[in-house]
Structure 1
Amino acid sequence: MILVTGATGAVGREVAGLLAAAGPVRILARRPERLTVRGPEAEVVAGEYADRPALDRALNGVTSVFLVTNSPTEPDDERVATAAAAAGVRHLVKLSMMAVEEPGADDFITRRQRENEQAVRESGVPWTFVRPRTFMSNTLSWAPGIRSSGVVRALYGDAPVACIDPRDVAAVAVGVLTGTGHEGKAYAVSGPEAITAREQTAQLSRALGRPLRFEELGPDAARAALLAKYPRPVAEAFLESAERQLAGAKAAVVPTVHDVTGSEARPFRTWAADHKDAFAPVQR
């Protein structure tokens, strides 16, 4: 039995769906009503990482775990890894981020992910880290502006990033969870090309069949927008990450998707075409 966490998120829901299509899977969910993966093959355990009895129930009889955490302050990786060790789990596959292996990345979020990876290593459970680059689905944050005025507003429109379709990250994770010989390895995962926000806007425009305009935000405006949504350390981490992207630190393409799954990584234009309805004007 494989346990999937984070199954309401961009990657976790895809992992759970792929596994459920092939056989039984167990899902730990803080809010089960938000799950999109349902059916006789998907067993759901309601609970959260801080609830050790719920964790123990979810881990009972489990051989492998797909771990997704997102709290910048809670020790959730340590909680799950400790409980997994006690339950006799044989493989823990953690969704991390590519920046952890890059010496120039020293923002708050990256430092926390390094600490989280270390907690998993120290648990004694055989581990694999899946370290994706920026998700293509992050552009969904542009949807309100596109729907209302046909405008994308973002920081550094000409900064390249080899962004990745969450479906491809999930395929790599499932390959690692169901395959052999992956323990003790870390897989950097990127898309097939480096693309800028300005180029993404043009490709979304073609997918939607309507003109879109890109407006570059200045650092001060971007900081204000981020601080309206996130705590200061997180907002500043995003800004530091954007500076690294501007310097070209996120443009490298790696062949991991093909190496693990046998399929090519999807380009952004494919993701845009498949998700164009999310950017379409609301029908009244």
Structure 2
Amino acid sequence: MKLKTLAVLAALATGLSFSTSAYALPAALQQADGKLGAYVELDQVQGLDNVVFVDIRTADRYAEGHIPGAINIPREFIETPDVDGVIGETKSYEELEPILASYGLSYDQTIVVYGESEDSPLVPTSGRYPGKIYVSLDQAGFPNVHILSGGVNAFEGELSKEATVLPASDLKLTNTKPYIVQKDYVLASIGKENSWILDARGTAGFDKGHIAGSINVPIGLFSNANELHDDIDGLLAKLEELGIDKEDEIITTCGWGWAASDLLAILRDLGYTNLKLYDGAWTDWVQDPNLPKAGTDFPA
């Protein structure tokens, strides 16, 4: 079934408009030849066929107002709940396949995920950090999945309270490309040549405790509350200072795997090609007494 860009058509029909300046992508994140990167602006997907906007916020937040035509897949349907203190890991392919099919997703769609700003609470059901849902769908084999720069805030005008529900699809996850790694993989990568572990948390959390050998690249330095990356030059300078090549392996991590996913998406748009996500992240690592740790809470 061909789906025109539902949000765009609804906006045109009602005289609403899209914000194009406040959430414009920096030049460094724009892709060559008009291609779409991990991050997109609303006007980049106008007129495309078969576009599905996915609102990752809670059902209550979606009902209060969403981009017209967007479907709602709250993040807890894609991520695991709190399991032994580890929050928000991506569900297995076997679990994801029937869930995503029930929401009408298919490989031939262009999927644009969005959340909302950091004003929302940082809890397991938060609408923040849509990069994690991007990673979950991308590694499940969806060839055209993107993150909306600015999230729901990028839409100007009246938000819709009318739910959109797509018919179930016959999706089979046949094109998976796993790049979410577990702690054993991360452990083997510590000190490995041309392999880097980048922690996207803020400095305060990193300084208290982190994976030994990891490097702090706080995502907050390079993005504002609405996923608009406003200091890409600073990020590039940091990466160059570290000596990271575009082909080097980079494992991103953080506290829960959320900020790490946003960092991974940014790095992909900057041309880094060998990216992995440790989505168990610090909440998983810290629980194993045999794993190497550093920081003020873990004196040598």
Class of the TM-score when normalised by the shorter of the 2 chains: under 0.3
TM-score after normalising by structure 2: 0.27
Higher relative CO (Cα under 8 Å, sequence separation at least 6) belongs to 2
